[in-house]
A = this chain, B = another copy of it.
Amino acid sequence: MRNRLHFNISTFEIDEKQKLFNEIDKECLSIGYYNLPEQNIDNILEFVNSFDESVENIVVLGIGGSSLGAKAVYEFLKPVKKPWRKLYFFESTDPLNIMEILSKIELDKSHFLVISKSGTTVETISIFKYLYAKESRATRYTFITDKESPLDKFATKIGSKVFYLPKNVGGRFSVLSVVGLLPLALCGVNISELLKGAKSVKESFFNDGYLKESLLNKAMFYAKYHTTYNINCLFAYSETLRYFSEWYVQLWGESLGKKQCNSAFHVGVTPIGLIGPKDQHSFLQLIVEGTRDKSVTFIKIDDFQNELTIPNITLPYLESLDILNGITFHDLITMQSDSVIEALKAQGDIPLDEIIIERVDERSIGQLIYYYELLTSLVGKLINVNTYNQPGVESGKIILKNKLQKRSKNDK
């Protein structure tokens, strides 16, 4: 993994950077996600090794941090590495969506992972109740939740297997914990490699490696100009990263969109996930000519492990496009991203950077995940927010609970 910054970082002092580094270094003691790359995964691997071989579908009941991470990794790897089992997600209360997923899975060949940190997530429990009424065998379910949560107690009572979330790991930082690792391992993802990828970024940052400078500089730039560039676009040149960008949107938006600590001032940087070259034909115009309120990070894949080639044929009246002949699609998409980067650089006033990952494998996505988690923590520290909570979503939940209670009483 490499990272090239194309914006001016000359104004940042060495001691400012050291101060930031020290603060993050200190967070490793209290915030759980930093240490996930070194966790012991024996219990997960044992569970997977003795898992019922007749199960064809792993079905996650979870929403937000309980689903986005595993989905990002699964969908990234799928086109290159055929999964052992199919992974499905119930992550909405939309009845049409629930029906659609139900129509795709054979219940009898499915195992359900019910994932809820609090154990009382409305969406997840609603769907669980629906499924449990159809399939109540405890062996068909595995639960991932906080120790002592109502869901933990329920699962223990019916005799299902329960895994616990590690301490001080929030939902959106949990993909490298059992929350992401269990469903992925059950589908054949090499979770050791995933963690090794994350570890390589961790070591590079904390042990004076190649990523330390670029992460610190990038975070300081984003934080310094967060009111000017209040939008951050992640422009990934591969469809495989489509769900990674959904994961990034949650991580970035929910971590950084806050009232500042000790003030009532609203801050935040808005995340946008784009996929190239498709979004060259959609969002690019807005980046090139629109308001200068966006920073852009391009993600490119070094090696698509694929030789699909445009054939050497000439079509009458379309001879001008013979310049495409004999080129691999891999080379074409790389030239497309390079051309757009060049065009944006020429504008001169759009902060750009490039991340290049090696290939579509576990190690690369592990690196990308940990890189973005670190970047989020760094920017959060600098714009003075609590990166790890989400108090803003509570009021809507309370209003819903009241509505449901009122309705429930009226029914009686």
Contact = CB atoms under 8 A, between A and B. Distances in A.
B96 A316 contact: no
A293 B228 CA distance: 11
A266 B289 CA distance: 6
A359 B355 CA distance: 43
A80 interface: yes
Contacts of A206: none
A28 interface: no
Nearest to A293: B230
Contact of A404 (B306, B318, B324): B324
A138 interface: no
A280 interface: yes
A64 B278 contact: yes
Contacts of A275: 92
B256 A338 contact: no
A317 B157 contact: yes
Contacts of A363: none
Contacts of A403: 335, 338-339
Contact of A315 (B93, B154, B304, B397): B154
Interface in A146-163: 150-151, 153-154, 157
17 contacts: A79-B97, A93-B329, A93-B332, A122-B332, A123-B277, A129-B310, A130-B310, A227-B291, A253-B290, A254-B282, A257-B289, A259-B289, A270-B270, A270-B293, A288-B395, A326-B411, A339-B399
